[in-house]
Structure 1
């Protein structure tokens, strides 16, 4: 592209994460002159998706200290084939894979879906259904530990444990043949409550900070065996005793209220071809159509208040209150607003251990049909409850480990070739023990699923993701024209509060000219009308 030196912009946006990309779209389509830069040579920031080669290049950059501060301690392994069997499963070519660094579920009731529709960005995207949710039970005695469905409905059983299907609503509870009448009645009472829990504050207000399992037992007499599947629906990264009632209720309500919105039997979706990275790229493409200018591999060096004097003053120059920006290639631009991420989060730092594992099997038993006439599921959710896995078996009085969540993506996502699947694994336990726990969860899952031939690991990456600023963060500045987003969320489901933050920044920049946020006329319809 042409040199940027001396150019004057309305808004400079640093980083191509989901927050910055949606803001760029909203502003460019609202008539603002946008320069959108990213120090990385790829789109998506912390939500990026990579081919195998790109993942290895990214890992090398992080190890060299030249990439995102949001990630650390990355290692990639490719187990060698046993013997010289040419028929043994193997990896395909690099671009046959699109691996998401931070995959998230998007609930049908999410505001993100509404804005993707109102902005017409949805036309560049394809969404796939999230199917069954499973919870791991380490107890092999099926007679006393089946949580939902008949024993034949499980996907594996051995002395090591079993995966049990999580009820997806009242219909599942009614049809269950294993739960006794007392347990079924207690669960139904809770499900009736959760649908409109906001209007029943007297039931839970005093129990806000109480552990959610305690609330279930004391207020609704829900059996302990049913706590794990309900906790699974919260996607909480904390142990069960640290997951509060205040945290759990809105998340379970979100799940249940979303079921059936897009079709029977499921309530959440994932974007095809690499998670939320696809949304950021679609938003950036739409912003470019609206006049936004993009410069990947372009970082920001410094910010100063832009108050030109003497010969520099003219009608085109940004006036007092603007910002002069020096880019890392020594080019200088002027802009009225600069938007990026906080250099440090305002909340305590959180570190997740994550891994991405490519396996040699489609893991078909994890993807049963959702419902009659429902789409084929492309994602299954596996929850290992807190304390469900142990790293030091046989040693008494071990502290309860946090839960582990696995998103299993089928080849329908376009993230791997047919006959393979991708496991995205996450836990809030950090450090070496966190990585050990991830490995234990993958090993247990592959050993528990009843499928032949047994699945093997073809490739894996493990890394720490921190709730801290990526390298798209901004240097300190006292200017009121430098606005900062908090770092990207590490939540396993898309957080709608992100959209509130984007909308707030958009309104501040647009002022009285702000119309409806991310609501655009259909360009194709306009062309037809003109013709």
Structure 2
């Protein structure tokens, strides 16, 4: 049948893009559609002009092209403001709507390699992690066991306690006596009680190694994150993390879309879905003996309709009339152990001076316990850093939050994200409620970070060249105790809604990948059910054993991809 595909995927976020790629490589016909003229959806990497258009479109009270997608976006991204000035070289910026770190071991790395998408992108090691101290300085985080023992600010007794904890966290701790009955204890209390760590050491471990955001974050999820990050150290270098080129998640999503297109996927960007009707029986064989219940999808400025058996969509892209019968795929990542935050305050700022990590290192975290990651592998402390994370623990900034940490990601020219001499600073802070403007919340942290920059000239300003602030309303995900009303256990549910990824800086890419595999398997299950009920003789209902099919080795790719 002309215009027929197995699946229509709406939205090119990382979860949807990985799903589309996996389905295409598994032999299904996929059409992938996005209202936006770029890949990545809410995780897109945008030029500066594109970011300004994104801000203006979502902050305007009226829109010439009102539709359900834009209305959903305006309810998700609120209290948006930006600098009035525009900068030259707009296309040399790749600014991420969802900045992230990539653990060197984990689901996203496995999918990048197994799918072949790794060859389409570039990655840089995270060079430094620092903790902001109430004294107004950065305490650089040691990068190895050797650095911990060379640190003169930690007593020998505390070093032994710290290393005992790191050995515990890197191992199979689930059945150890230290954690028995303590799984839901606040992680900071667990560190102080079970390992006799002092307040300062415990805080640095919690906020800079486990990436907790408050003192109430629980123990087991924090330990699981730490173990993953410790095991990531040394795989590609001293750091546990990689930073994707060209903005990270959006560029990676585009790589998966490229792989799907190579496998036969159809891509339509910048076009609105005007109508979806059905499902109605449609013949798929010449004698019309086999009929599948198909949706008819109409696109703006497209004369031909698409017919499909299954629709996969992000929450923003799905048309409202499909929601009552849709199946919402629950997130597959374990509980973060954090409070149920409803919002996240974000800032994207461009600066023309590097943030210096030249202060004496006295932070107490380590990203690895193996001697293979020598401190000689890292840039010297006085060197300006191109990729770094700066953590503001609660109460570390006068006038800042006393309960919630702020995480800052810094990227520069070496990440292909900015022109020469420019850096992007991303700030994020989870919120339980939206009661203040994002600028009033985050500007003190941005000013504190800018106070640590290295002056480029005598008249350099401490203000960013450009900044935008906004609140992101976090999408509700179904849980076992609070499921969305849907036919969740019914394989005949032919509309699948993808879950949102984690908003934790080092978890978002991995969680999107895990979610994508869950959506992929639900899609396979539904497609097999639909074809079996239609009596399709040519349909292969064999078992899909792996997320990604084996790829043939290319001699040209035998060199290290990273």
Asked if Structure 1 and Structure 2 have the same fold, meaning a TM-score greater than 0.5 normalized by the shorter chain, the answer is yes
2: CA distance, partners of 1:318 / 1:468: 39
C-alpha separation between the residues in 1 aligned to 2:395 and 2:113? 41
| Partner of residue 109, structure 1 | 105
Q: CA deviation at 1:249?
A: 0.9
Of 395, 401, 425, the residue aligned with 1:387 is 395
- Kept in 2, the 8 Å contact 1:360–1:420? The answer is yes
1:481 aligns with 2:494: yes
2:446 aligned residue: 442
Q: Which moved more, 1:434-443 or 1:118-127?
A: 434-443
Q: Is residue 503 of structure 2 the alignment partner of residue 490 of structure 1? A: yes
Specify the SS of the correspondent of 1:203. coil
Cα pair 1:361 1:421 within 8 Å, conserved: yes
- The equivalent position to 1:285 in structure 2, one of 243, 258, 266, is 258
1:461 equivalent in structure 2? 468
Q: Which of the residues 164, 167, 173 maps onto 1:198? A: 173
Please report how far the alpha carbon of residue 352 of structure 1 lies from its aligned counterpart in structure 2 after TM superposition.
Answer: 0.5
Tell me the C-alpha RMSD between the 2 structures: 3.3
Answer yes or no: is 1:243 the counterpart of 2:222: no
Q: Distance in 2 between matches of 1:349 and 1:72?
A: 16
TM value normalised by structure 1: 0.81
Partner of 1:72: 78
1:261 matched residue in structure 2: 235
The answer for the alignment partner of 2:201 in structure 1 is 226
CA distance in 2, matches of 1:477, 1:9: 25
Residue 358 in structure 1 maps to residue 360 in structure 2: no
- Which residue in the other structure is 2:156 paired with? 181
1:211 is aligned to 2:186: yes
Q: 3-state DSSP class of the match of 2:158?
A: helix
Kindly provide the CA deviation profile for residues 510-529 of structure 1, in whole angstroms up to 9, marking residues without a partner as x: 45252432234238569xxx
Question: Given that residues 8 and 335 in structure 1 are in contact (C-alpha distance below 8 angstroms), is that contact kept between their aligned partners in structure 2?
Answer: yes
Q: CA deviation at 1:438?
A: 1.2
CA distance in 2, matches of 1:163, 1:218: 27
In structure 2, distance between residues paired with 1:524 and 1:294: 26
SS in 2 for 1:308: strand
> What do residues 196-245 of structure 1 show as CA deviations (whole Å, max 9, x unaligned)?
143444311311221111111111110111122212235646322x2111
**In 2, Cα distance between the equivalents of 1:374 and 1:365?**
13
Q: Is the 8 A contact 1:71 1:463 kept in 2?
A: yes
Deviations 1:273-321, CA, capped at 9 Å, x for gaps: 1111111111111111111111112333454443337x99855798344
Q: Determine the C-alpha separation between the residues in 1 that align with 2:117 and 2:203.
A: 37
Alignment partner, residue 296 of structure 2: 324
Render the CA deviation track for 1:79-120: whole Å, top value 9, x for unaligned. Answer: 6xxxxxxxxxx9432112111111100000122112211211
Contact 1:237 1:427 in 2 (8 A): no
Asked if structure 2 preserves the Cα contact closer than 8 Å seen for 1:105 and 1:270, the reply is: yes
Q: Which runs of 5+ in 2 are unaligned?
A: 317-322, 332-339, 362-372, 478-483, 525-540, 557-562
Q: What is the match of residue 59 of structure 2?
A: 63
Contact 1:354–1:425 under 8 Å retained in 2: yes
Distance change in 2, residues 1:71/1:316 (3 Å): farther
The CA deviation at 1:414 is: 1.6
Question: Contact 1:360 / 1:421 at 8 angstroms: preserved in 2?
Answer: yes
Of 399, 406, 409, which aligns to 1:407? Answer: 409
Partner in structure 2 of residue 153 of structure 1: none
Displacement of 1:424 in angstroms is 0.5
Moved more, 415-424 or 330-339: 330-339
Task: Look up the match of 2:32.
Answer: 36
Residue correspondence of structure 1 range 85-96 to structure 2 within 5 A = 91-96=87-92
- C-alpha contact 2:351 2:465 (8 A) present in aligned 1: yes
Distance 1:427 1:39, change over 3 A: same
Corresponding position of 2:368: none
Q: Post-superposition shift, 1:449?
A: 4.3
Q: Larger deviation: 408-417 or 121-130? A: 408-417
- Could you tell me how far apart the structure 2 residues matched to 1:36 and 1:317 are? 29
- Once the two structures are TM-superposed, the CA of residue 78 in structure 1 deviates from its matched residue by 4.6
Matched pairs, number = 479
For 1:442, what is the secondary structure of its paired residue?
A: helix
Shift of 1:450: 5.4
**Shift in Å, 1:29:** 1.8
Q: Tell me how far apart the structure 2 counterparts of residues 366 and 194 of structure 1 sit (CA, whole Å).
A: 30
Contact kept in structure 1, 2:346 and 2:472, CA below 8 Å = yes
Structure 1 pair 230/173, CA: closer, same or farther in 2 (3 Å)? same
Number of the residue aligned with 1:15: 11
Distance 1:312 1:169 in 2: 60
Q: Are 2:553 and 1:519 aligned?
A: no
The SS at the match of 2:396 is coil
Change (3 A) 1:431 1:47: farther
Rounded to whole Å, the distance in 2 between the matches of 1:26 and 1:458 is 41
Name the counterpart of 2:93. Answer: 97
Secondary structure in 1 matching 2:518: helix
Change (3 A) 1:449 1:61: closer
Asked if structure 2 preserves the Cα contact closer than 8 Å seen for 1:402 and 1:428, the reply is: yes
Q: Pairwise mapping of residues 127-146 of structure 1 onto structure 2 (< 5 A)?
A: 127-138=123-134, 140=135
* Cα distance between partner residues in 2 of 1:283 and 1:447: 39
Residues 390 and 401 in structure 1, CA contact (< 8 A), matched pair in contact too: no
Q: Distance in 2 between matches of 1:329 and 1:225?
A: 60
Q: TM-score under structure 2 normalisation?
A: 0.77
- For residues 111 and 226 of structure 2, what CA distance do their matches in structure 1 show? 23
Secondary structure (helix, strand or coil) at the match of 1:72 reads strand
| Residue 459 to residue 243, structure 1, CA distance change in 2 (3 Å) | same
